[in-house]
């Protein structure tokens, strides 16, 4: 299992919610096909057909 698969499992199971780095979460979302938009200190991730 790769790095991103392990991180996704941690998120889904909720076992390490306090130990997930924001930068790792951003990388995972980009790998999953989300578009990143940054305005000041706000990070917004969007993807078609996801609300």
**E-assigned strand segments in 1-51:** 35-39, 42-46
Tokens 């000041």: give the residue. 40
pLDDT number for residue 51: 85
Instruction: Judge whether residue 1 has pLDDT over 80.
Output: no
The residues, any chain, with a CB within 8 Å of residue 24's CB and separated by 6 or more, are 7
- Rounded distance, CA 51 to CA 49, Å? 7
In the chain, DSSP finds a helix count (H) and a strand count (E) of: 2, 2
pLDDT number for residue 19: 87
pLDDT number for residue 15: 82
Q: What is the pLDDT of residues 8-45, one digit of tens each?
A: 998 999 888 888 899 999 999 999 999 999 999 999 99
pLDDT number for residue 48: 94
- Rounded distance, CA 29 to CA 12, Å? 13
Instruction: Judge whether residue 46 has pLDDT over 90.
Output: yes
């Amino acid at each position: 299992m790769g790095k991103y698969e392990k991180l996704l499992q941690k998120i889904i199971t909720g076992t390490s919610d306090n130990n997930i780095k924001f930068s790792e979460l951003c990388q995972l979302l980009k790998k999953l096909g989300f578009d990143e938009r940054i305005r000041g200190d706000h990070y917004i991730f969007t993807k078609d057909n996801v609300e």
